[in-house]
Structure 1
């Protein structure tokens, strides 16, 4: 709820502070007094796009501050949370416009962008007038209005969930079809490559082992001669024989050496053991170097085959086994594709059926709600002297989407038999105002702290019709807050709070101000609205009668 507005140096307003109240707030004044300027200033602090030049002549900058009360659960809290702004039960908006056109905004002393301000304003204030294309006249919002009117939030959640599941299923099926198509395109290559790799069956580390074995075989003849000579040098005709002789000779005289040969004999024993190990190792090496020439050919053939496949497929030799596993997996996609597609197509049919049912239920409930809304509108239009007009909620088939498969539009025909069309194309100014008011009365649900502003929505009507307009505005304001700019004394008489917009002039400047009216001043203002510039006693009596008739 809008509680106050402080305007400084905006257009012809030098300084103005207003404190608004719950209920129906009425703003009146002569044409050109500045009522539109007041709304321009409010729109500026709310981030709405409007006039380019707002700063008062001679001032460096203009500034508007607005403060709102936020009841618990107000939608504004969600917008503030998304923007990282904490808030309690009071919200303060401030926006400055410098002479060079720069605009800066704050929410609770936290600087914010115009986008955040506009998102927040949609939860705070709703403007209605003959040229309002943001709300009721915008066909893009008619479906949301009908859904809110019908309380279809749970059905919308169900339909959105079904649409998401359908989209995910379609995506999974498309991805599987793409994988299978890709596998089919390379099926011949995959089967040949897997067969070739399986036939060779390379192991990790095998290339290095084969390369070592090949080099050893290639060098075998040369090193075998030297190894054989070394073996002979270590044997009985060499080191082993000489060490054995030395051991035998020393053992023969050890008893007479008084123990001095014990350590040398022990060392000789260790040497004999070491010589034995060396001889065994040399023998094993000679055995390893003993191969047929075909063994070298076999090793080279496998080594070259492994390296050739690695080059062919652009992978390391040690990665050939893993590469073969990848190719087999791609073949499995093709081999299992028919089964997978059958499962996915079944899932798709199920998802389509679930979505179709949810969308159909949503359509049926919208059609029922449309009939109820049309009937409610007919009941509202009669007191507004538009009993011959026909309001219809059209529901046509649209492309399926997350909110169903309907296109909703509000249409009117001003007379029976006349062609129906969009509100702003068919109705005249006065008729449009009454259509908008009736529609707003029908669509308004439990108040969520939204301030509604009606800008001269009673233009072009008078008498009993104007009284009906005023009573519907008062109905909307009951338990909430409505601000109405009006030229109708019948509407003004229904206001719970009344302000008069005045233009003041002196030799140097023209300014606009707003005056809160007490009971006597209110009678005079309504009398002026009845009779014009010259307020007569008869006009005052008529004004008092109007006010008394509203109680």
Structure 2
């Protein structure tokens, strides 16, 4: 419901803060006092069109703030959650309008577009006025209102569930057909790719193993070269065996052996040369053995490199990493398998989609039958409310027509429209086009009396619903407003004392002058002041004791 309304610098209002409660609140005042300014201000906060003329003369901007306290499960909370706006202690709508006609919108102090403000406004407040109606006048709401009147939530939910299941089955079928069509377009390439990768048979972790083998084999060549080089240094460099360390040591030993005797002094040198020759011979044997063991396998290195390069070439061709080649092959095989088995799967999905459609149609037909039954009951219930509102010739017609299959939805197959006739023999037409302003407001009131239980909008505003009527008809209007207010918050702008007397809260709108400027004020009335205001509405400019007594009777009758 609307908890409070704060207005700053709108037309004749400089500063105004109002609080509202549940039930029926009435706003009264003389013609021209500024009651329409209040509704225009509320409309501004609800996202309606902003005009620079609303800004109070001499001010740079106007600001209107409307605070609401909807129940936790209200659709407005879900809408704000979708927008990422936190709702903790209610919903606060704020609109700032500058003198040059530009405006900014905020929800819970978060800047938003006016379109979102307008969407929230339609969920929180419904306005029924002489010229502008929203809510009941919108045919899009009629099916939901009829279902709420008939208590058809279970059937409607069953239709919504069946519709979701049907659409899900249709999407699965469409996706399968598209997948098969794409696979068939690529079938030749797909078979070639699977064959090529299957022949290659990539294994998980194979690239790392091959790279390590390649590095080891390449290192083996360098090792063999080093051993051969070392061995060449110990071996003869000419055919006569000369040029090697062994030949040099042999020549040195022969030279020492030719010393004339006694040659004992040469014995240690000869012994050392003999030991050196033995060590050198041993080193040469070891190097020859190492050389024999370290001979690389050129074919093995070639095989490793061929395999490694083949894997990397395949990875580039398929735009994947080498490590992902096994998974890629598995995916291609799965696609090929799906292509081979696709016809059978599509047939199964077609059957599932047909069954889901049949289930939806069955549920929707059940809902249609129930709607037809309760449409007649709704027409009769509204008819009972019309005569006391001086609309005894008017009739509500609930039209239920089948929609094209393309327009079937979670709310069923029907197009539900509330039509009205105001005179016998008249062709039924839409609410806003057939009735006059006063008739339309009273028609809306009659509908609201019957449909209040199913209304998702917690706050209703009626602007002069009692226009052009008086006496018993005005009393009937007040009675019905009070009945609607038992379930919903109702704000009504009225000139009727019979309606004003039914309010749980009474606000007086008055225009005065302050600092040589006209100003609109709104005052909540206490019982004594309220009695005086209703007496004024009864008597006119001069309030008499008889008018006060009549006001007492009205207030007592409404208690």
2:224 is matched with: none
2:468 is matched with: 460
Hey, what's the Cα distance between the residues in 2 that align with 1:517 and 1:167?
Answer: 57
Partner deviation per Cα, 1:1-34 (whole Å, 9 max, x = no partner): 4344343321122333444444322212222221
1:512 is matched with: 520
2:281 is matched with: 268
Q: Is the 8 A contact 1:243 1:268 kept in 2?
A: no
Q: Is 1:348 aligned with 2:315?
A: no
1:499 is matched with: 507
Report deviation, 1:516.
3.8
**CA distance change for structure 1 residues 479 and 371 in 2, over 3 Å: closer, same or farther?**
closer
Report deviation, 1:138.
0.9
Report deviation, 1:394.
1.9
Pick one of 530, 543, 554 that aligns with 1:546. Answer: 554
Report deviation, 1:158.
4.1
**CA distance change for structure 1 residues 181 and 451 in 2, over 3 Å: closer, same or farther?**
closer
Q: Is the 8 A contact 1:40 1:51 kept in 2?
A: no
Q: Is the 8 A contact 2:508 2:523 kept in 1?
A: yes
Partner deviation per Cα, 1:83-111 (whole Å, 9 max, x = no partner): 433533x6655543332334345556565
2:389 is matched with: 384
Partner deviation per Cα, 1:172-203 (whole Å, 9 max, x = no partner): 322332333344455566667877x5997687
**CA distance change for structure 1 residues 269 and 187 in 2, over 3 Å: closer, same or farther?**
same
Hey, what's the Cα distance between the residues in 2 that align with 1:194 and 1:175?
Answer: 23
Kindly report which structure 2 residues correspond to 1:521-536, keeping only aligned pairs within 5 A, or say none.
Answer: 521-536=529-544
Report deviation, 1:118.
3.9
1:292 is matched with: none
**CA distance change for structure 1 residues 413 and 91 in 2, over 3 Å: closer, same or farther?**
closer
1:84 is matched with: 85
Report deviation, 1:522.
3.7
Partner deviation per Cα, 1:423-449 (whole Å, 9 max, x = no partner): 112222232122100111111128989
Q: Is 1:402 aligned with 2:402?
A: no
Q: Is the 8 A contact 2:52 2:99 kept in 1?
A: no
**CA distance change for structure 1 residues 387 and 191 in 2, over 3 Å: closer, same or farther?**
same
SS in 1 for 2:413: strand
Kindly report which structure 2 residues correspond to 1:19-168, keeping only aligned pairs within 5 A, or say none.
Answer: 19-68=19-68, 77-78=77-78, 82-88=83-89, 94-105=94-105, 113-115=113-115, 117-153=117-153, 155-168=155-168
Hey, what's the Cα distance between the residues in 2 that align with 1:105 and 1:198?
Answer: 61
Partner deviation per Cα, 1:186-224 (whole Å, 9 max, x = no partner): 5566667877x5997687999x99xx9xxxxxxxxxxxx
Hey, what's the Cα distance between the residues in 1 that align with 2:292 and 2:504?
Answer: 120
Greater shift, 62-71 or 480-489, is seen at 62-71
Partner deviation per Cα, 1:449-495 (whole Å, 9 max, x = no partner): 92321111122332222211110001122365321111222212322
Hey, what's the Cα distance between the residues in 2 that align with 1:65 and 1:186?
Answer: 61
Pick one of 454, 458, 471 that aligns with 2:479. Answer: 471
Hey, what's the Cα distance between the residues in 2 that align with 1:238 and 1:333?
Answer: 79
Unpaired runs of 5+ in structure 2?
215-231, 254-266
**CA distance change for structure 1 residues 172 and 533 in 2, over 3 Å: closer, same or farther?**
same
2:492 is matched with: 484
Q: Is 1:441 aligned with 2:449?
A: yes
Hey, what's the Cα distance between the residues in 2 that align with 1:13 and 1:322?
Answer: 73
2:170 is matched with: 170
Hey, what's the Cα distance between the residues in 1 that align with 2:454 and 2:178?
Answer: 51
**CA distance change for structure 1 residues 514 and 358 in 2, over 3 Å: closer, same or farther?**
same
**CA distance change for structure 1 residues 357 and 98 in 2, over 3 Å: closer, same or farther?**
same
Q: Is the 8 A contact 2:461 2:491 kept in 1?
A: yes
TM-score (norm 1): 0.74
Greater shift, 393-402 or 353-362, is seen at 353-362
SS in 1 for 2:127: strand
1:180 is matched with: 180
Hey, what's the Cα distance between the residues in 2 that align with 1:20 and 1:315?
Answer: 67
Q: Is the 8 A contact 2:50 2:97 kept in 1?
A: no
Pick one of 456, 459, 465 that aligns with 1:451. Answer: 459
Hey, what's the Cα distance between the residues in 2 that align with 1:365 and 1:338?
Answer: 41
> Between Structure 1 and Structure 2, how many residues are aligned?
507
Report deviation, 1:529.
3.3
Hey, what's the Cα distance between the residues in 2 that align with 1:238 and 1:173?
Answer: 91
Greater shift, 5-14 or 439-448, is seen at 439-448
Hey, what's the Cα distance between the residues in 2 that align with 1:150 and 1:485?
Answer: 31
Unpaired runs of 5+ in structure 1?
213-229, 290-298
Partner deviation per Cα, 1:381-439 (whole Å, 9 max, x = no partner): 23323344321222222222233222111112224443212111222223212210011
Hey, what's the Cα distance between the residues in 2 that align with 1:3 and 1:314?
Answer: 65
Partner deviation per Cα, 1:251-273 (whole Å, 9 max, x = no partner): xxx9xx87985674355245335
SS in 1 for 2:343: helix
2:228 is matched with: none
Greater shift, 131-140 or 94-103, is seen at 94-103
1:223 is matched with: none
Hey, what's the Cα distance between the residues in 2 that align with 1:342 and 1:58?
Answer: 74
